[in-house]
Chains A and B, each alone.
Chain A
Amino acid sequence: MSFFKHESIEINAGLLIALTMVVISIGGLVEIVPLFYIKNTIEKVEGVRPYTPLELRGRDIYQREGCYLCHSQMIRPFRDEMLRYGHYSLAAESQYDHPFQWGSKRTGPDLARVGGKYSNEWHVAHMINPRDVVPESIMPSYPWLMENELEYSDIADRMRALKKAGVPYSETREEYQANVEKFGREVADRLNILAAEQNLIAEAQAGNFDGDRARLTEMDALVAYLQMLGTLVDFSQYEEGHFAEFR
């Protein structure tokens, strides 16, 4: 076929681009596609759920501020990482992440299990000026998080967008029932898109993450997100070798 001859490819830029893309995508396809149908890719584990509306807004702010440029969220299965950060990350733990925040650049520490490690007050002080609590820190300050009111009028749309990507937020009665069966009633209520705004406000008021009850700030959302990172799976429920069996 003269179409695939050296000369016809070289003198036809469009064909050259198309064929180049085919060749370089083979490597990716071979590595990624099988993961979608290999049974053990996502571990069977209790407790992992999609983000609540408040956590979701926190996660958006995390991405807006570019936290992922310096912080990874992926504890690898090595002894030194386990001693410092805790249990290695599971695929199941980021199954509702779009996009995932694994990362590989650690200018700051890994945050996959930062939830519950520090108090809310510590996080607030740390965000306003990291040097107040960690003198040697090189992290930038984010004082505006405490000043900016949290914008949440579009929270339902944000959840709908994620629903399109496969995250089980519910809009219809059937979807809600399915969530009740999958996550239990309490979690299912928080995944209901129709009640997103009330849920967001209620969670912020109950948690009072930024220490200021009068206002709902971006700090509320970010700290709520940080405080749940890596806390969904109770690893004490599983024996030591359990997760090795999924590989």
Chain B
Amino acid sequence: MSEANKQQGAVQTTGHSWDGDLQEFNNPLPTWWLWGFYLTVIFAVIYWVIYPAWPVGESYTKGVANTITYTVNGEERTTHWNTRALLMKEMQSGQDAQKMQAYMEKVAAASYDDILADEEMLAFTRAVAKGLFGDNCAACHGSGGAGVIGLFPNLVDDAWLWGGSVEQIEATLTQGRRGFMPGFERSLDEGQIDAVAHYVLSLSGHEVDGDMAQRGMQIFNGKEGGCFYCHTKAGTGLESQGAANLTDSIWTVANVPGRDGLEGKLAEVREVVENGIERVMPAWDQRLSDNEIKLLTVYVHELGGGQ
């Protein structure tokens, strides 16, 4: 409280009283506050002149001496100030947009080898592709690329179902992939499927019953099962078919690492052999530009250490 307020009688009251003696002071507004108020009024008047402000009939005042120029199809257009024109101008000639554009052109012109060898281009690719990945790929593969076992492949491990070279990754992104393994429920009986499961686990170094594995191998590599057509006799898998490598302890469909004990692991493998699996990666050539696919290719290649 200021000195003036403390001195009763020096300040006027509003003149009325309640309950006999309840009165209200009528202090003048502080000077600094009053001037602040006048300044905001002056600011508002200046704003009305410069920016679109007052409605007039079916239109409104557009603001004086405050225009935005942008380009449409090589032709310059000038309009009154508005956020949409401002956005176009920023997208076309803003500092960040131009910087990004310059990098985009540089990356578009460079080969994969050039990009992978150039720290600066690689840093740019990581930054932009992280957003692209988050927007388009993360819904299935997860924002870190770890996927969901059985549903969406893990992109950060060393296994590449459809090949891990930049050319193969680009093809996967552009055309999409259709991974298909038939179910053997009808063509093999339970004992045979169990034997195949034993053999499959033995391929990745699990200790299983030798006789069962031996029998499984015959089915796997023979006409009965025919597994080797796609998984090869060595069990390493054909990339052209997107067939999993069964020898590397990396599991993409059967959740073998998630189960304790041999019986559980066998059950996981048996289920895949019985029911098969079908997984689809959509094609992105209609949704993403060539350059965006290029950036994502490098990004995904880097995620899994590439091949």
Known contacts A79-B94, A135-B142: does B59 contact A244 (CB below 8 Å)?
no
Q: How far is the CB of A64 from chain B (nearest CB, A)?
A: 25
Q: CB distance B143 to A79 under 8 Å?
A: no
Known contacts A241-B88, A243-B84, A244-B84: does B142 contact A38 (CB below 8 Å)?
no
Q: CB distance A34 to B70 under 8 Å?
A: no
Q: How far is the CB of A120 from chain B (nearest CB, A)?
A: 13
Closest to B82 in A: A247
Q: CB distance B59 to A38 under 8 Å?
A: yes
B152-186, CB under 8 A of A: which get 1 and which 0? 00000000000000000000000000000000000
Q: Which residues of B contact A83 (CB under 8 A)?
A: 131
Q: Which residues of A contact B60 (CB under 8 A)?
A: 34, 38
| A82: interface (CB < 8 Å) | yes
Q: Which residues of A contact B91 (CB under 8 A)?
A: 79, 82
Q: CB distance A38 to B55 under 8 Å?
A: yes
Q: Which residues of A contact B143 (CB under 8 A)?
A: 134-136
| B85: interface (CB < 8 Å) | yes
| A118: interface (CB < 8 Å) | yes
Using a CB-CB cutoff of 8 Å, which residues 54-80 of chain B contact chain A?
A: 55, 57-60, 70, 72-73, 77, 79
Using a CB-CB cutoff of 8 Å, which residues 105-138 of chain A contact chain B?
A: 117-118, 122, 132-136
| B2: interface (CB < 8 Å) | no
Q: Which residues of A contact B96 (CB under 8 A)?
A: 79
Using a CB-CB cutoff of 8 Å, which residues 52-104 of chain A contact chain B?
A: 77-79, 82-84, 88
Q: CB distance B142 to A244 under 8 Å?
A: no
Q: CB distance B14 to A6 under 8 Å?
A: yes
| B140: interface (CB < 8 Å) | yes
Q: Which one, B59, B82, B138, B140, contacts A39 given CB within 8 A?
A: B59
| A181: interface (CB < 8 Å) | no
B133-152, CB under 8 A of A: which get 1 and which 0? 00100111011001010000
Q: Which one, A34, A133, A243, contacts B55 given CB within 8 A?
A: A34
Q: Which residues of A contact B70 (CB under 8 A)?
A: 241, 244
Q: CB distance B94 to A88 under 8 Å?
A: no
Q: CB distance B73 to A134 under 8 Å?
A: no
Q: Which residues of A contact B146 (CB under 8 A)?
A: 135
Q: Which residues of A contact B140 (CB under 8 A)?
A: 122, 133
The distance in angstroms between the C-alpha atoms of A6 and B16, with both chains bound, is 10
| A154: interface (CB < 8 Å) | no
The distance in angstroms between the C-alpha atoms of A135 and B154, with both chains bound, is 14
Mind listing 14 A-B residue pairs with CB under 8 Å?
Answer: A6-B14, A34-B55, A78-B87, A83-B131, A84-B135, A117-B139, A133-B148, A135-B143, A241-B77, A241-B85, A241-B88, A243-B84, A244-B82, A244-B85
Question: What 10 new A-B contacts, CB under 8 Å, besides A6-B14, A243-B84, A245-B79?
Answer: A77-B84, A77-B86, A77-B87, A84-B135, A133-B140, A134-B138, A135-B146, A239-B72, A244-B82, A247-B83
